[in-house]
Structure 1
Amino acid sequence: MAGEITETGELYSSYVGLVYMFNLIVGTGALTMPKAFATAGWLVSLVLLVFLGFMSFVTTTFVIEAMAAANAQLRWKRMENLKEEEDDDSSTASDSDVLIRDNYERAEKRPILSVLGVNLFYFCIIVYLYGDLAIYAAAVPFSLMQVTCATGNDSCGVEADTKYNDTDRCWGPLRRVDAYRIYLAIFTLLLGPFTFFDVQKTKYLQILTSLMRWIAFAVMIVLALVRIGHGQGEGHPPLADFSGVRNLFGVCVYSFMCQHSLPSLITPVSSKRHLTRLVFLDYVLILAFYGLLSFTAIFCFRGDSLMDMYTLNFARCDVVGLAAVRFFLGLFPVFTISTNFPIIAVTLRNNWKTLFHREGGTYPWVVDRVVFPTITLVPPVLVAFCTHDLESLVGITGAYAGTGIQYVIPAFLVYHCRRDTQLAFGCGVSNKHRSPFRHTFWVGFVLLWAFSCFIFVTANIVLSETKL
């Protein structure tokens, strides 16, 4: 009984679930990974990518185990309720049944995580979603600025040897930073209002977005391989440069983020018999894809010419001759991110509501429809207004909020879940979805790693600011 994951709603096969997880993990973070690879060096980047992928897999199995245990307790409670209805007038329950029932009732009254733990989760997810929105709000106008602000002889996009400053001219007297902020204002006016409403029926929009994303990734990899095969590769990445590890760490953590969406992703899988193996296969495929994308990028382009958004490197005449392909790749983040921004904004708004919700209470209309959407939309737009350094935004979001969601919360969750399961069912019941990393050592190792990452990233930021 222990270890079952409830199956509700529309079901899909385990292989469809594998595809969904692949699409969930591989997103905007992948577009910032090539520059981070080039900055940190190919060997350091490869080692860190594999290790962080492994750590993400460990905590993913923690979340799956906790889900299975929680659902087992729910099923046990339903069975007990049915039994109580059937045996309401009898007292034939055995002593063992009574003992298990009493243990369950004591466990059921205690939340798996304390109030502090729940609030920590909401804090991490809210900070992460704010980072997501800031990245999205900066990426779209930045891409539009890079594609449309041609100067001099640069009539078709970003020149290979040109490094622009924000104060360079864009159109007439307008500077590039002015164009960026104009695009940001338009982006906010067009998509910001969705934060005040509910976003529904996005299935076909998400399918179209996923299709565009995989076409873009495939085209970029093929074009980079062709250039390298023709001897036109310009990249000579260093073996290691530890000054770039901080951003690389944040980018990699951000790029493996999926733990917060696992319940809605795993629950509808119809057959969960080999779930852990399929998740492991997914991580291997994702590692291979990230490696292929990043290594073709760093050997195709010079490190100092790689853009924060990798797609922008293909908005150049000397790389892509066909104008339609250049504009498709250059504007690819505009299309895909614009469809995701309202969904993330509504998710963040709802998390704010849940954090402050009290059972039986309701919010006044102004608080519900004005205050929560406003505190959701304004901060990320302000951050995007101040900076469009996408690599740093992704790095900081992954290094701090990502560490909490990907490491700290799953570790505490599985630790308390195991104790709770023993209290409810005893030591003899096993969870068939239990993580392969079942020893308590792994929980401690994940927490120690999370703490070390937090200290490392903070120290590097302080040192960088001191040098400046």
Structure 2
Amino acid sequence: MAGEITEAGELYSPYVGLVYMFNLIVGTGALTMPKAFATAGWLVSLVLLVFLGFMSFVTTTFVVEAMGAANAQLRWKRMEARQDEEDDDSSSSASDSDVLAQDSYERAEKRPILSVQRRGSNLFEITDRVEMGQMASMFFNKVGVNLFYFCIIVYLYGDLAIYAAAVPFSLMQVTCALGNDSCGVEADAKYNDTDPCWGPLRRMDAYRIYLAIFTLLLGPFTFFDVQKTKYLQILTSLMRWIAFAIMIVLALVRIAHGRGEGRPPLADLSGIRNLLGVCVYSFMCQHSLPSLLTPVSSKRHLTRLVLLDYVLILAFYGLLSFTAIFCFRGDSLLDMYTLNFARCDVVGLAAVRFFLGLFPVFTISTNFPIIAVTLRNNWKTLFHREGGTYPWVVDRVVFPTITLLPPVLVAFCTHDLESLVGITGAYAGTGIQYVIPAFLVYLCRKDTQLAFGYGTVNKHRSPFRHTFWVGFVLLWAFSCFFFVTANIVLSETKV
């Protein structure tokens, strides 16, 4: 079955799916995690990281269950459509009275048979790729669907703002250090944006120049359709793992040689706000699960494989962050962790310094057009009316412009990556990772019971099948919203 092609596309083995999911989750958020760990304290960070990993696993199983329920609905509709066609063909030669009598008899005869057929476990097999937007349309009302797209759009805007700031920030850090005849990025992270970069140009001027170049080079892709190629995915994944491996090894070597400078506190409650958002953002995968898991050839032990993935990701995040906070002083950790290795006193080899310093530039730049096109298409779907088409100007100019302009303006105003990641994760990320999956699984369970009967068992049902877990996830999501908002208000009040 591994070579079979379905609506999900070409299938791959469960372990390949495990690798793809690992690569999807471990991204930009991991690079901002070390500084968040150092700010919040190592014990608080560890506890929160494990808890948020567990909560993300719970909602991932919710989405998988909703995928199974959506597949059952679609499969049953196709079966009914075929049955109606067969009934029409067989009754075409009968009189009207005969047809009415026959239909009445058949409905009476089929009712108990259908209730048995509907309980077939194969109904819930995940073979059709049903994206979260389609699931929202199936299980939510109109208001719920609009709120879903609003949440997705806000999250994607945050994603693009993070990407638009990360690339110019990395270029500014590396090139301004060279412009000042320095060997790599400054050891002290408490730089000033008004400090000189090249001659009369300030650091902020250099950042905005790089942002303009970044926008001019990658912005036009928003106006066209782009696809992530297989080879581009392989290349970026390879670069990512080389970079992460180098950073972990170098940090361990420095610590082993007694050159570790980090003395992280046990707990610092003032840093929890950003840590919360960063961790939520770093476990984000729920919106991409249909594309990721549907092509898995054997889904018999899907929940176990997903659990294994989360355990590995937790171990990786812990290793990366703990080596970072004990290797570098908390006040010297930069928003983009790779930049801490663009220094001569950390890495002697210039090629490795430049590779790590510019690593976000290469990997993030390849993802920016893809996220931008995804956001543009979500805008189109939100305003789409059945049977209607957009004028050329609206389709090719207005939607790409409203996609590109806001994140670039945000990046123009700030390059505080930790705050951007924290706010995106704490608000839109919480909605996508907790609220939407909780409502999806609750409503799909009710719909499944009504459509297929109360004895129906979804073969992909979540291990957290009690309604308590849905309520607990929603309560936690509300707590995240409340805590982050209150923390922001208190911080502004103090200032």
**TM-score bracket for the superposition, by shorter chain length:** over 0.9
Quick one: distance in 2 between partners of 1:400 and 1:21?
A: 23
Contact 1:4 1:68 in 2 (8 A): no
Contact 1:7 1:270 in 2 (8 A): no
User: Deviation string for 1:344-380 (max 9, x for gaps)?
Assistant: 0000000000000001000000000000000000000
Of 426, 429, 438 in structure 2, the residue corresponding to residue 399 of structure 1 is 426
Contact 1:250 1:398 in 2 (8 A): yes
Contact 2:262 2:329 in 1 (8 A): yes
Contact 2:12 2:296 in 1 (8 A): yes
Contact 2:2 2:11 in 1 (8 A): no
Quick one: distance in 1 between partners of 2:98 and 2:52?
A: 44
Counterpart residue number, 2:341: 314
Measured after TM superposition, the shift of residue 159 of structure 1 is: 2.7
Measured after TM superposition, the shift of residue 85 of structure 1 is: 3.1
Contact 1:103 1:424 in 2 (8 A): no
| Pair 1:103–1:441, CA change in 2 (3 A) | farther
| Cα-Cα RMSD | 5.1
Which stretch shifts more, 91-100 or 186-195? 91-100
Measured after TM superposition, the shift of residue 5 of structure 1 is: 14
Measured after TM superposition, the shift of residue 91 of structure 1 is: 13
Counterpart residue number, 2:66: 66
Contact 2:426 2:484 in 1 (8 A): yes
Percent identity of paired positions between Structure 1 and Structure 2: 93
| Pair 1:113–1:87, CA change in 2 (3 A) | closer
Contact 1:2 1:68 in 2 (8 A): no
Which stretch shifts more, 85-94 or 125-134? 85-94
Measured after TM superposition, the shift of residue 150 of structure 1 is: 1.7
SS of the equivalent of 1:113 reads: helix
Higher radius of gyration, 1 or 2: 2
| Pair 1:420–1:216, CA change in 2 (3 A) | same
| Pair 1:123–1:114, CA change in 2 (3 A) | farther
User: Deviation string for 1:54-76 (max 9, x for gaps)?
Assistant: 00000000000000011011112
User: Deviation string for 1:405-429 (max 9, x for gaps)?
Assistant: 0000000111000000000000111
| Pair 1:194–1:95, CA change in 2 (3 A) | same
Contact 1:144 1:183 in 2 (8 A): yes
Quick one: distance in 2 between partners of 1:403 and 1:104?
A: 51
Contact 1:40 1:242 in 2 (8 A): yes
SS of the equivalent of 1:130 reads: helix
Contact 1:130 1:379 in 2 (8 A): yes
Quick one: distance in 2 between partners of 1:380 and 1:354?
A: 20
Quick one: distance in 1 between partners of 2:212 and 2:302?
A: 44
User: Deviation string for 1:86-144 (max 9, x for gaps)?
Assistant: 34467999999999999999999999999911111101110000000000000000000
| Pair 1:457–1:107, CA change in 2 (3 A) | farther
Which stretch shifts more, 108-117 or 31-40? 108-117
Quick one: distance in 2 between partners of 1:83 and 1:92?
A: 17
Contact 1:67 1:263 in 2 (8 A): yes
SS of the equivalent of 2:9 reads: coil
Measured after TM superposition, the shift of residue 3 of structure 1 is: 22
Contact 1:36 1:391 in 2 (8 A): yes
User: Deviation string for 1:255-288 (max 9, x for gaps)?
Assistant: 0000011111111111100001100000000000
| Pair 1:27–1:428, CA change in 2 (3 A) | same
Which stretch shifts more, 96-105 or 66-75? 96-105
| Pair 1:314–1:386, CA change in 2 (3 A) | same
Contact 2:170 2:358 in 1 (8 A): yes
SS of the equivalent of 1:112 reads: helix
> Unaligned stretches of 5+ in structure 1?
none
Matched, 1:94 2:95: yes
> Unaligned stretches of 5+ in structure 2?
117-142
Which stretch shifts more, 161-170 or 411-420? 161-170
> With structure 1 as the length reference, what TM-score do the two structures score?
0.93
Counterpart residue number, 1:454: 481
| Pair 1:55–1:93, CA change in 2 (3 A) | farther
Which stretch shifts more, 418-427 or 1-10? 1-10
Contact 1:306 1:313 in 2 (8 A): yes
| Pair 1:381–1:110, CA change in 2 (3 A) | farther
| Pair 1:428–1:333, CA change in 2 (3 A) | same
Measured after TM superposition, the shift of residue 9 of structure 1 is: 1.4
Quick one: distance in 1 between partners of 2:410 and 2:71?
A: 40
User: Deviation string for 1:3-42 (max 9, x for gaps)?
Assistant: 9998631111111111110001000000000000000000
In the alignment of these two chains, the number of paired residues is 468
> With structure 2 as the length reference, what TM-score do the two structures score?
0.88
| Pair 1:288–1:194, CA change in 2 (3 A) | same
Measured after TM superposition, the shift of residue 79 of structure 1 is: 1.9
Measured after TM superposition, the shift of residue 152 of structure 1 is: 8.7
User: Deviation string for 1:302-323 (max 9, x for gaps)?
Assistant: 0000000000000000000000
Measured after TM superposition, the shift of residue 82 of structure 1 is: 2.4
Measured after TM superposition, the shift of residue 399 of structure 1 is: 0.3
Quick one: distance in 2 between partners of 1:449 and 1:99?
A: 54
User: Deviation string for 1:136-166 (max 9, x for gaps)?
Assistant: 0000000000001027975221132463200
User: Deviation string for 1:314-342 (max 9, x for gaps)?
Assistant: 00000000000000000000000000000
Measured after TM superposition, the shift of residue 178 of structure 1 is: 0.3
Contact 2:228 2:370 in 1 (8 A): no
